[in-house]
């Protein structure tokens, strides 16, 4: 019998990966670097922002301040969130309702920072479904390293 379900956030609960891609693309464009969707898929999903920016710094040999690069990303992300919002993945609400009806514990484990994830969940009135949360700003390594799980 299943006692609990752990959900990732980006790409599972909400369709937000395209926003991250746009932000990284915009950032690298300021250095005249073409960043494709294939590059994003290969290097970025599931990684914490600071990890990705450090990767870019080394991979592209960029002379950047990591904190400023992360702030650029957050500003662009907020722009896209304000402009278009982030769509909920199809069937998520129904699945959460089903799990609650079966008294199955629900946890969110994400490399997203708490403020961002909770804001988006609150916009869809989904926060109430979750019994526990683990956010990217609470662990040293993102969900690729399974620390948040």
In a shared domain, residues 62 and 47: yes
CA-to-CA dists, residue 140 to 50, 74, 125, 143, 145, angstroms = 11, 19, 29, 10, 10
Q: Note the pLDDT of residue 47.
A: 84
Looking at per-residue pLDDT, the higher value among 111 and 3 belongs to 3
Does one domain contain both 77 and 93? no
Note if the pTM is more than 0.85: no
**Measured distance CA(112)–CA(11) in Å, rounded:** 11
Q: Which domain holds residue 79?
A: 17-84
Q: Do 104 and 60 belong to one domain?
A: no
Same-domain check for residues 36 and 50: yes
User: Under a CB-based contact definition with an 8 Å cutoff, are residues 136 and 115 in contact?
Assistant: no
Rg from Cα positions in the chain: 16
For 71-125, the pLDDT digits (tens) are 999 999 999 988 888 999 999 999 999 999 999 999 999 988 898 899 899 999 9
CATH number, domain of 75, equals 1.10.150
Structurally, the chain folds into a number of domains equal to 2
Mean pLDDT value across residues 47-73: 96
Q: Clarify whether residues 31 and 58 are in a common domain.
A: yes
Three-state SS at 40:
helix
């Amino acid at each position: 019998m299943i006692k609990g379900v752990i959900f990732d956030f980006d790409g599972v609960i909400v369709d937000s990966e395209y926003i991250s891609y746009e932000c990284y693309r915009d950032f690298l464009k300021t250095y005249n670097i073409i960043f494709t969707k294939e590059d994003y898929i290969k290097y970025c999903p599931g990684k914490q922002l600071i990890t990705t920016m450090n990767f870019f710094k080394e991979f592209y040999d960029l002379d950047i301040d990591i904190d400023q690069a992360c702030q650029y990303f957050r500003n662009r992300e907020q722009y896209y969130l304000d402009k278009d919002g982030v769509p909920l993945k199809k069937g998520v609400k129904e699945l959460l309702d089903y799990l609650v009806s079966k008294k199955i514990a629900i946890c969110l484990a994400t490399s997203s920072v708490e403020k961002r994830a909770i804001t988006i969940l609150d916009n869809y009135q989904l926060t109430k479904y979750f019994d526990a949360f683990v956010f990217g700003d609470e662990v040293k390594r993102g969900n690729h390293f399974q620390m948040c799980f």
